[in-house]
Chains A and B, each alone.
Chain A
Amino acid sequence: GAGVSQSPSNKVTEKGKDVELRCDPISGHTALYWYRQSLGQGLEFLIYFQGNSAPDKSGLPSDRFSAERTGGSVSTLTIQRTQQEDSAVYLCASSLVSGALSGANVLTFGAGSRLTVL
């Protein structure tokens, strides 16, 4: 598609359940990021995929969080045994390239998946 697509747009779940959030990046974009944004807060980095390199998972808050990117395209963020503090908007973004090069790092964001854990 023309933009970054995320689904579901809204998810309400009960504490302890697992959730999966999906991101379809722009076709051909090699870099993909997941961020978390709590209400009224900034963007908290979660995980970063760049081409075939090992993902940078340094931002994942606990081992309940995991993400994969299949075939260098679609990515799924999985949260196991959800807790109330996991409630937030989860934003996905992609870019054509990544790094310190001129023209790099121009991320295009999806609209986000709003997760509410009851």
Chain B
Amino acid sequence: GQQLNQSPQSMFIQEGEDVSMNCTSSSIFNTWLWYKQDPGEGPVLLIALYKAGELTSNGRLTAQFGITRKDSFLNISASIPSDVGIYFCAGPLRSSGDKLTFGTGTRLAVRP
């Protein structure tokens, strides 16, 4: 079954607003990855987190590896239209032989 739950499932925001989304699991992860999928494309890696408590930024994106190692957060500041897409969290699930497991996704739409 699904091991990673993302919220919100979808969101509409006004251009220029900040966005927050999160990913939670009942299992501990040693790595958290955040991907973005544009329409008609495969997901692309945005940020990788490897240490509990780590806070990493990539331009307008900031992600944090939760201290409990069971959650992660992604923030987008000053959203723009090209931020539209589906955001996935992912991590290697030890109980599944460390293969990468993806979250349910957060669909972001921006009102221009």
Separation of A43 and B103 alpha carbons in the complex (Å)? 8
What distance in Å separates the Cβ of B96 from its nearest Cβ neighbour in chain A? 8
Contact B99 A106 (CB under 8 A): no
Separation of A43 and B42 alpha carbons in the complex (Å)? 10
Of B42, B92, B104, most A-chain CB atoms within 10 Å: B42
Contact B42 A109 (CB under 8 A): yes
Q: Per-residue 0/1 for B35-79: is the Cβ within 8 Å of any A Cβ (1 yes, 0 no)?
A: 000001111110010100000000000000000000000000000
Main secondary structure of the interface of A (DSSP, over half): loop
- Cross-chain pair count, CB within 8 angstroms: 70
Chain A residues with a Cβ closer than 8 Å to the other chain, count? 29
In the complex formed, the residue of B with least CB distance to A47 is: B99
| A74 at the binding interface (Cβ < 8 Å) | no
Separation of A40 and B106 alpha carbons in the complex (Å)? 11
Contact B99 A48 (CB under 8 A): yes
Contact A111 B42 (CB under 8 A): yes
| A25 at the binding interface (Cβ < 8 Å) | no
Q: Lowest 9 CB-CB distances: which A-B pairs, in order?
A: A109-B42, A43-B102, A99-B98, A102-B50, A42-B105, A100-B30, A48-B99, A42-B104, A105-B100
Q: List 15 A-B contacts (CB under 8 A).
A: A33-B99, A40-B107, A41-B105, A43-B43, A45-B101, A48-B99, A58-B96, A93-B42, A95-B100, A98-B98, A98-B99, A105-B33, A107-B90, A111-B40, A112-B42
